[in-house]
Structure formats: structure tokens, C-alpha cells
A and B are shown apart, each in its own frame.
Chain A
Amino acid sequence: MCCCRAAPLPSRCSNRAMDHAPPVPDTPHVALFVTCLVDLMRPSTGFAAVKLLEDAGCRVSVPDQQTCCGQPAYNAGDRKDARKIARMTIGALEGFDYVVAPSGSCAGMIKVHYPALFADDPPMAKRAEAVASRTWELTAFLVDVMRYKPMGAQFDEQVTYHDSCSGLRELGVKQQPRALLSDVEGMALSEGDSAEICCGFGGLFCVKYPDISVAMVDKKIDDMVSTGATVVLGGDLGCLMNVAGRARRRGVHIDAWHVAEVLAGMANEVEPIGGDSDGNSGGGAD
């Protein structure tokens, strides 16, 4: 799953991932799966996603019957609740051309794990498969389906990228965000050796095993600093909050934005995740 194309493909329908998919409608109707973290913590990421999808020519709806994809329950072994939440979410996401989430982790949950959750319930499995087959991580959707190129985004920063684990290894998201970022003016991207290595967030892992989690994110931050970058971008808010939260506590000058915010040209308007690092090595509200 983690093999990715090296370069953008020439035309919409030659996309390998699309070989067996129906042709892309002129104005695809997209359900935005907001994700619980974006909803609660960082709405700007959601609005950036909406802007990008609309710029790419989609009609965007935000189904009301969505909360969280259920991954915390699923990964904690609570399959019963995970199934209930999945059933509700599938119901909310049916009937659209596509479902897009600004998160590889939540998109992976819907795309990879929902069908597995209903392996013993064929009618439900069929519905899960149908939704799964239309579900995309945001940057992958923009590149692989919509052939979108961002116009006029400007970001004068030295940037490094963090590949979130689920997006990378469950969905093969690797080149797509980089392809999109290559059209952003003023930005320089330097890759770290450990771009593909987990930051230690891991959902509930980071609070259940905080000492291991912090050791992991510290390595990650050291690697980011070694690239010379002062900004980290990524496609998953969980990872970015973990990196930014630790960087703030350590007083390391790394600011984090969701990639969608940069691509939508909004990063200059919204402050980085956890506030900016300039002049403040801690402090904040107690």
C-alpha cells in the first residue's frame, strides 16, 4: 500500500487507483468528513479543506450525522461501540460521489477498517464497502481524483513534512501532498530522514504511555530541526498537535500547520497549532 507514484499522472482517468472506479462527474458532490479533532480543536483546517474542494470544482456538503469515525473505540478493542459509530457514520456518508477527510487516519478508518468491522454482517459490509470505495484522504483526492493544482498560495517558510502513519501505510499518501506543495510560492521543503516514522501520537497511546510517546516525538522533533526547517506540515491534526505541543514545551522553534491550510492560502491568517513559538518558550494559560 505504501508504494506511490513518483510523478503526477497526465490525465484524470489514467489513475491506477481509478481503473475500476466510475468516471469523475463534472461537479462531484463531496461529503466532508470533518473529523472530531478538526471539529473541536481546529475548524480552520475544515474550512481550508472546503475551500480546496470547492476550488477543485466540487460541491461540498457536511453531513450532520457525523461525530468521530470511532477509531478510539476500535483501537481500544471496543468493537461493539466501534460498530455502532461506524453504522451511524456510514449512514451519514452514503449517497455522495465521494467522501473526503482532512486526515489519513480517519479516512483509513472508513476505507480500510469499516469493511473489516462488518465482516460477519454481509448487508452492512456491502454498505461499508460502498462508502469505503468512495472515501479519500484530502490531498490524495485533490491529486489523484481531481488533478487539482493550487493557485496563488504563498508561504515564505522553510518547511519539513511529516507523513502520518495511517495515510502513508494504509492509503499510500506520500507524493500527493508534496505534489500540491510544489506549487506553493515561496516555500522550501526539506525532507527529514524520519519523515515516515511515527511521531508517537497513536490516539490514546499518547496518554496511556506518555513516556514512550514523548521519547518518540522527541526523536521526531530532533530530526525535523536537523533539516533546518522551522515549520512542519502534515495531513493529520493528531500528529501535529503532538509535535507542536512537545515543541512548545521544549521551546523548540517548530511551528505546525495542517497542509490544507497552507494549500488554501490560509496559513498566513491562522496561527500555528498551539500558538506560535516566537519569543515564548512555554507560558500560556495554566
Chain B
Amino acid sequence: MSQIKTERFRENTRSALADRQLQAVLGKFADGFPVKRAQAIARLPEFDALRDAARDIKNHVLENLGPYLEQFEAQVIASGGQVHWCRDAEEARQTVLSICKNADARTVTKSKSMIGEEVDINDFLEDNGIEPVETDLGEYIIQLRREPPSHIIAPAIHLSKQQVAETFREKHADRAADRSLESPRVMLDEAREELREQFLGADVGLSGANMLVAETGSIATVSNEGNIELTCGLPRVHIAMASIEKIVPTLEDAATILRVLARSATGQDMSVYTSFITGPRRPDDLDGPEEFHVVLLDNGRTELLASEFRDILRCIRCGACINHCPVYEAIGGHAYGWIYPGPMGAVLTPGLLGMETTQHHPNASTLCGRCESVCPMRIPLPDLLRKWRTRQFGAEITPTASRYGLKVWAYFARHPHLYRLITKTGAIFLFAAGGRKRRFRHLPFAGGWTDARDLPAPQGRSFMAQWRQRPPRRSGGRL
């Protein structure tokens, strides 16, 4: 896969913070999704109880995933579809390619699929002479720009409308060069026209799936644009790609998840289009595909299921944690270097790509907990980030200087008398050095702080030193 830049997190971060255009777009971010989510939840007093119910559903599924997967498969087959099990990205790519080849496909329309991104299906199909066309507006824009998504539900959120207009002018070359592309409305209408032709001409439709319903063998899809249904419904072959944890037991369980999904994602009560697709076209149907394939992907999830990170498999990809993450808001999605940004990404990415190339992801967080407080599936994201840090520490991926620094500090912290000796002298020294202004602009070994912040100076003798000399009052004094 060509687009993994997780190791360049620091460089990515620096350029993101220096990118004025990106910062301007991110500046608007906090006023969007979080406000709409809060409004939607204010209208549903049972929201927190529904989060509990949704969490319980997925926990039950994960505990019984084997039988549910088999049940789902049996129902897909019973409704005339096919299920393809794939251990890893390469198997998934080959499976999709072989279905496309059997269908003599030249073009494939695609609705947004994070699994498609995960296995990098677009580049692979292109390399094999098949043209993939993204149809979600945001995905379409970034595909034209050959960029990865910067957000799991708003893939082009890092772009300004001027950038989109430039892209359309360059890529829609057969249109009048001097046409107006002033407003998003005009740009949308142009994209709609371009994509209409693609929908009608495609040989295969490739979609993701928000849920796999074991009871019926249905896949559930959720969108606002209507592109998923055109992707699944117009071509002769429909392929849905999904990872194994997308299972829900019943249609009733799907209803519960839907109640928390859109509210958490965009702040809608319900997304505009939710579809349950069960098998291919039926006899006498006037439309629908002749073939229906489900590509079921593991790609590291069974390992997560067996690990202390199982909770992340409850994730329904709503993006609420990303929308409420102050780190994401500062650096955007591309800085993370792969397709899953923000808190859910910082937990999932090391699980899917390994710890070695993703060491920054669990660490670049203040563990502020805002993500967990909005997660509809009550995933303890800060806790999972901390668990990755523990694994890194154990595997000595944590930088040596940090590890030894911690060890030395911890030694003193465990020995209060030694500790007092250090703090006593330290406080006095820093107090004396703090000068009239009571702060430092520079301090050796504290550049991480003082490069951009003054460091407040201590007030003088430490609390413990002063407390020892406090005259006895009604309080208990020293112990």
C-alpha cells in the first residue's frame, strides 16, 4: 500500500499546523458536527440509555462472533448471494479483482467504504486496468486530487471550496474553462452530472456496509447522498466489502444502532437513506444487480478480538470521537498518515498496521476523554490508548530516554525522603532563578515547554517543607 505515512507523524503534524488554508477549514470544524450532535441529543432523552443498549448488542456479538458469521453467511447464500472470506488486504483485493474480471468489468462505481480504503482497492483496480469511480461527493473530490480521506465520514473536510473549484476546472477538462464555479451548489450540480453517466455505465458497483444483519443475511448501508443505492442498484454486479465485526444479530438490533449512529455522526435523527440489501435481483424484479457478493475481511480483527483492545471492535465509524477531538481539530486527518484519524484511528491503526510504525498514534493525545464521553458505543478510548502505551513500554518501543527518565523519576517518587531533598533544593533554586517576573523564557532541558511558553517559577520553599514548620492548629499536622 502506497499511502501509509504513519511514521512521518511529526513531520505531517508540523506541515499541517503551518498550512494556513487547512487551519482555516479546521477552525470552522468545531462549530459544525459537535453543535448539531448536541442539538439532536437534546431531543432524545433516552440517548444515553440507547448507548448502553448499543454497546450491549455489540458486546454480545463479539462474544458470539463465530456462530453469527456462519448464520450471516448461510442467509446470504439462501438469498442467492455469495460470501468471500478474506484473511488480509491482499486476499480482499484479489477477490474483488476476480469478481470484476468474471464480469468483464471496465468501470466500477464505488460508494464510500473504509474497508475499500483499508485494502487500497482503487489503486489496485487501476493497476489492473479497471477504472474505479468514487461517487460520494467528498470521496469523488479527493479521488480527483489523488488524496486519501482526512475524515471517515467527511473525507474532503480539509479542502476549501476554492480548492474544489480548481480541481473540477482541471479534471472536468471538456467543460467550458471560463464557467463559473463560485458556489458549492454549482460544483455539486456539475459533479452530479458527471457521476450520473458513470452510474449508468458501470459494470460493477462496489460498496461498503454499515452493518451485516445475521438474521436475514442483509447488508445495511447508510448515506445522505443516495449514491450507495445507485452504486448497488444500477450495475449488473454488486460487491459489498465489510469487516467481520460489522455483524448485528437482528433487524431490531440494527434499529437500535441506527438510533445512535446518525445522531453521533452528523447530528441527524436519521441519515436520509438507510438500505437493507438482501441478495441479488429477484425473479420478476425490474431492477437490481444479477450478482450479489459480500467480501468479509479479517485483516487483523481476530487478533484484536483476542486482545485487550476488543472494545474497539464495537466502533460503528460514526466519527463522533474525531469530531470532538481537540488534537484532530488542531492537525486534521492527513497528519495521522493513514485512513483512520482521531481517537478511533489512534487505537485501531496500531492494531491493523502494527506498533512499530505507529508509535506516535497512542501518544499524541492528552487523554482528555472527550472522545469517550461522546462515543455512542461507549468505547473507552483513552483507556485503550493507554493500553497501547503500556504495550509500547513493554516492547521498548517507547524512546529509551523517556523510559530511563521515567525510571529515575519513579525511583525518587517512591522514596519520599529523597524526593523531598530534590524538590526542596529544586524549588529554592528555581525560585531564585525565576527573577522578578516569576517565570522563565528559557530553561535547560525544558525546551518542549519553553520554546513557545513561559514556565512559571516556583513560589519558593515547597509545600511539604513549609508544612513541617507550620505551628500546630486545630488540624492534624504531620503523620
| Co-assembled chains A and B | yes
Which A residues fall within an 8 A CB radius of B? 1-2, 29, 34, 36, 38-44, 46-47, 50, 54, 58-68, 70, 72-79, 81, 84-85, 88, 165-166, 169-170, 194, 196-198, 200-217, 219, 241-242, 244-246, 248-249, 270-271, 273-275, 280, 282-286
Residue-by-residue, is B407-450 near A (CB-CB < 8 Å gives 1, otherwise 0)? 10110111010010001001100000111111111100010110
Given contacts A43-B461, A77-B391, contact A209 B13 (CB under 8 A): yes
Given the complex of chains A and B, what is the CA–CA distance between A284 and B456 in angstroms? 10
Of the candidates B373, B437, B452, B474, which one forms a contact with A285 in the assembled complex, judged by CB atoms under 8 Å apart? B437
Of the candidates B329, B372, B434, B454, which one forms a contact with A249 in the assembled complex, judged by CB atoms under 8 Å apart? B454
Q: How far is the CB of B401 from chain A (nearest CB, A)?
A: 11
Contacts of B315 in A (CB 8 A): none
Of the candidates A40, A73, A214, A273, which one forms a contact with B410 in the assembled complex, judged by CB atoms under 8 Å apart? A73
Q: A67-B414, A283-B441 are in contact. List 7 more A-B contacts (CB 8 A).
A: A2-B373, A63-B479, A73-B410, A212-B13, A212-B17, A284-B434, A284-B438
For B452, give the chain A residue with the smallest CB separation: A214
In B352-380, the 8 Å CB interface with A consists of 363-370, 372-373
Contacts of A198 in B (CB 8 A): 326, 366, 368, 370
Given the complex of chains A and B, what is the CA–CA distance between A202 and B446 in angstroms? 16
Which B residues fall within an 8 A CB radius of A? 13-14, 17, 30, 326-327, 329-331, 363-370, 372-373, 386, 388-394, 398, 402-403, 406-407, 409-410, 412-414, 416, 419, 423, 426-427, 433-442, 446, 448-449, 451-464, 466-467, 473-479
The reply to whether A270 and B473 contact each other, CB–CB distance below 8 Å, is: no
Provide a sorted-by-A list of 30 A–B residue pairs whose CB atoms are within 8 angstroms.
Answer: A36-B423, A39-B463, A41-B459, A42-B458, A47-B463, A54-B474, A58-B475, A61-B476, A64-B416, A65-B416, A67-B412, A73-B406, A76-B389, A81-B406, A84-B414, A197-B368, A198-B368, A201-B366, A202-B365, A205-B363, A205-B367, A206-B448, A210-B451, A210-B452, A244-B454, A284-B435, A284-B436, A284-B441, A285-B433, A285-B457
Given contacts A60-B476, A165-B366, A270-B459, contact A212 B331 (CB under 8 A): yes
The reply to whether B437 and A74 contact each other, CB–CB distance below 8 Å, is: no
Contacts of B369 in A (CB 8 A): 165-166, 169-170
Contacts of A214 in B (CB 8 A): 452-453
Given contacts A54-B473, A75-B386, contact A284 B364 (CB under 8 A): no
Contacts of A29 in B (CB 8 A): 476
The reply to whether B441 and A169 contact each other, CB–CB distance below 8 Å, is: no
The reply to whether B462 and A202 contact each other, CB–CB distance below 8 Å, is: no
- 5 cross-chain pairs, A with B, having the tightest CB-CB distances, nearest first: A202-B366, A207-B448, A77-B389, A284-B437, A285-B435
Given the complex of chains A and B, what is the CA–CA distance between A205 and B479 in angstroms? 34
For A43, give the chain B residue with the smallest CB separation: B463
Given contacts A50-B475, A205-B366, contact A216 B330 (CB under 8 A): yes
Contacts of A280 in B (CB 8 A): 437
Contacts of A36 in B (CB 8 A): 413, 423
The reply to whether B463 and A169 contact each other, CB–CB distance below 8 Å, is: no
Given the complex of chains A and B, what is the CA–CA distance between A170 and B461 in angstroms? 32
Residue among B389, B426, B442, B459 with most chain A CB within 10 A: B459
Given the complex of chains A and B, what is the CA–CA distance between A238 and B452 in angstroms? 16
Q: How far is the CB of B467 from chain A (nearest CB, A)?
A: 5
For B393, give the chain A residue with the smallest CB separation: A77
For A212, give the chain B residue with the smallest CB separation: B330
Given the complex of chains A and B, what is the CA–CA distance between A223 and B444 in angstroms? 31
Q: How far is the CB of B114 from chain A (nearest CB, A)?
A: 25
Given the complex of chains A and B, what is the CA–CA distance between A42 and B457 in angstroms? 9
The reply to whether B439 and A248 contact each other, CB–CB distance below 8 Å, is: yes
Contacts of A46 in B (CB 8 A): 463, 467
Contacts of B456 in A (CB 8 A): 41-42, 241, 244-245, 273-275
The reply to whether A200 and B326 contact each other, CB–CB distance below 8 Å, is: yes
The reply to whether A283 and B367 contact each other, CB–CB distance below 8 Å, is: no
Q: How far is the CB of A112 from chain B (nearest CB, A)?
A: 10
Q: How far is the CB of B388 from chain A (nearest CB, A)?
A: 8
Given the complex of chains A and B, what is the CA–CA distance between A70 and B386 in angstroms? 14
The reply to whether A40 and B448 contact each other, CB–CB distance below 8 Å, is: no
For A196, give the chain B residue with the smallest CB separation: B370
Contacts of A75 in B (CB 8 A): 367, 386, 389
Contacts of B467 in A (CB 8 A): 46, 62
Q: How far is the CB of A265 from chain B (nearest CB, A)?
A: 17
Given the complex of chains A and B, what is the CA–CA distance between A205 and B326 in angstroms? 13
Contacts of B393 in A (CB 8 A): 76-79
Contacts of A209 in B (CB 8 A): 13, 363-364
Contacts of A72 in B (CB 8 A): 406, 409
Residue among A42, A43, A73, A282 with most chain B CB within 10 A: A43
Given the complex of chains A and B, what is the CA–CA distance between A48 and B221 in angstroms? 57
Contacts of B403 in A (CB 8 A): 78
Contacts of A34 in B (CB 8 A): 463-464
Given contacts A44-B459, A67-B412, A202-B366, contact A245 B454 (CB under 8 A): yes
Given the complex of chains A and B, what is the CA–CA distance between A116 and B147 in angstroms? 42
Contacts of B364 in A (CB 8 A): 205, 208-209, 212
For A210, give the chain B residue with the smallest CB separation: B448
Of the candidates B30, B363, B439, which one forms a contact with A245 in the assembled complex, judged by CB atoms under 8 Å apart? B439
For B399, give the chain A residue with the smallest CB separation: A208
Q: How far is the CB of B7 from chain A (nearest CB, A)?
A: 15
Given the complex of chains A and B, what is the CA–CA distance between A156 and B471 in angstroms? 31
Contacts of A206 in B (CB 8 A): 448-449
Given the complex of chains A and B, what is the CA–CA distance between A64 and B448 in angstroms? 32
Given the complex of chains A and B, what is the CA–CA distance between A210 and B14 in angstroms? 10
Given the complex of chains A and B, what is the CA–CA distance between A194 and B14 in angstroms? 24
Given the complex of chains A and B, what is the CA–CA distance between A201 and B390 in angstroms? 20
For A244, give the chain B residue with the smallest CB separation: B456
The reply to whether B475 and A54 contact each other, CB–CB distance below 8 Å, is: yes
Given contacts A40-B426, A165-B366, A285-B435, contact A245 B414 (CB under 8 A): no
The reply to whether B437 and A85 contact each other, CB–CB distance below 8 Å, is: no
Contacts of A197 in B (CB 8 A): 326, 368, 370
Contacts of B474 in A (CB 8 A): 54, 59
Contacts of B442 in A (CB 8 A): 286
Of the candidates A42, A166, A207, A285, which one forms a contact with B434 in the assembled complex, judged by CB atoms under 8 Å apart? A285
Given the complex of chains A and B, what is the CA–CA distance between A202 and B330 in angstroms? 15
Contacts of B435 in A (CB 8 A): 284-285
The reply to whether B413 and A202 contact each other, CB–CB distance below 8 Å, is: no
Given the complex of chains A and B, what is the CA–CA distance between A255 and B433 in angstroms? 21
The reply to whether A66 and B458 contact each other, CB–CB distance below 8 Å, is: no
Contacts of A242 in B (CB 8 A): 453
For B9, give the chain A residue with the smallest CB separation: A209
The reply to whether B368 and A62 contact each other, CB–CB distance below 8 Å, is: no
Given the complex of chains A and B, what is the CA–CA distance between A271 and B413 in angstroms? 29
Contacts of A40 in B (CB 8 A): 423, 426-427, 458, 462
